[in-house]
Amino acid sequence: MAAKAASMTAGARFYTLSNGVRMPSVGLGTYRVREQGALDACILEALRSGYRLIDTATVYRNEAQIGNSLKKIFENDLVPGLTRQDIFLVSKLAPKDQGYDACYQAVQDSLRQLQVDYIDLYLIHWPGTAKLKLPNAQNAINRMESWRALEDLYHAKKLRSIGVSNYTIRHLSELIERPHHSHSYSHSSAESPIATPSSPARTMVIPHVHQFEMHPRLFQQELVEYCQAHRIQVQAYSSLGEGRLIVQTAPLPPPDDPYYNEKPVPGALEVMPDLIRKYFPGSSATLSKKNGMMIDGLEPALISESEYSKRSAQILLRWGLQHQAVVIPKSTHPQRVRDNFDLFSFEIEPSDMALLDSYSTKGHRVRYCWDPTEVR
């Protein structure tokens, strides 16, 4: 583990998954971005800035728009020399599509919407099934059937890598510790292979990637270490705490998300102004008494709100990278898209990493998004 960590702190731009596939360490998130013009602009800006990973999902309802954006970019050579092979596309299974047949068809639908022959990484988005209560045992059966469909699609080379999202250690261990081989289940899809009892057993695929909420207020070290022990690449989402960690006045949660944490929760980290001054000394220039702090009886240079937001985002994203996670910040603002990729010109010192980690002690963790703990 020490060698891997050292490689990351040197500023790795790619990780190598357990199957040899290279995955960019920084990608563009697209959650809640659906308008075609906005996606055209931010994807083009991202690719011109160096991003090569684009993260989407069926429930985001923007796969078709992303497919359209990429088609325009490739056909018009808007990023000179860029081809499909340069892009790492991530999509995810909707909870309503759990189960072998539904999952298999959902992947076919995503391939069509994205206008591609393969997807680089496909994840089971949530361990539960839509309309089932969280404790219902059918959740475990359905997600296992979904995984078998993903294994078949992986072996058919429609998916270059497969993984999960929002799983707990219990969910992961149930998947990883099942028998090391299995047969495909017979099903109705005319395009997919149908195994019979005489078919050769196919190798079980351990997830290549696990995507879950990760930031200093929710650093699930046990889950990270479990993934590392099984060579599962961690991909962080909500690195900025849905925006609450980079502004002094927290935004309201989305009104239409049944799994979203709507309770009042802590926001910006008290230590952040000092870290900004330390790693970006030119930032403390303009006026904002909100972020001023007293040190040895003297008021230090103050940080503007815009500078605070920009630099705190960079520190939080760099924190994720130094914990060997893929990060996928989302923005539709061109300058912020560029800023969020500028993560390789500095390194957070170990003592400051430990300070940021300390916000996530047991009993004080803050979850801004979905809680899978009760999903059976």
The predicted-structure confidence for 14-59, as pLDDT tens digits, reads as follows 999 999 999 999 999 999 999 999 999 999 999 999 999 999 999 9
**pTM surpassing 0.75?**
yes
User: For the segment 209-218, what is each residue's pLDDT rounded down to a tens digit?
Assistant: 999 999 999 9
Task: State the average pLDDT over residues 308-327.
Answer: 97
CA 356 to chain centre: 20
From CA 105, how far away is CA 99, in angstroms rounded?
Answer: 10
User: For the segment 229-238, what is each residue's pLDDT rounded down to a tens digit?
Assistant: 999 999 999 9
User: For the segment 108-139, what is each residue's pLDDT rounded down to a tens digit?
Assistant: 999 999 999 999 999 999 999 999 999 999 99
From CA 65, how far away is CA 155, in angstroms rounded?
Answer: 28
For residue 34, is it left (φ>0), alpha (ψ between -120 and 50) or beta?
A: alpha
pLDDT at 361: 81
Residues 315, 162, 105, 258, CA torsion sign = negative
Nearest to 9 by CA among 265, 343, 242: 343
- Answer yes or no: are the C-beta atoms of 106 and 97 closer than 8 Å: yes
Task: State the average pLDDT over residues 274-289.
Answer: 74
Residues 221, 234, 93, 188, CA torsion sign = negative
CATH of domain 2-253+312-360: 3.20.20.100
Hey, what are 152's tokens?
């078949």
Most confident of 7-21, 59-73, 171-185: 59-73
In sequence order, which residues have a C-beta less than 8 Å from that of residue 104 and are 6 or more positions away? 149, 152, 153, 187, 189, 192
Nearest to 376 by CA among 164, 140, 205: 140
Could you tell me how many residues make up the chain?
376
**More confident call, 12 vs 31:** 31
In this structure, are strands 14-16 and 22-24 parallel, antiparallel, or unpaired? Answer: antiparallel
- Answer yes or no: are the C-beta atoms of 167 and 131 closer than 8 Å: no
Please state the domain extents for the chain: 2-253+312-360
Q: Quote the mean pLDDT of the chain.
A: 86
In sequence order, which residues have a C-beta less than 8 Å from that of residue 330 and are 6 or more positions away? 28, 29, 30, 31, 32, 33
pLDDT at 193: 43
Estimate the crossing angle of helix 305-322 against helix 350-357, to 10 degrees: 100
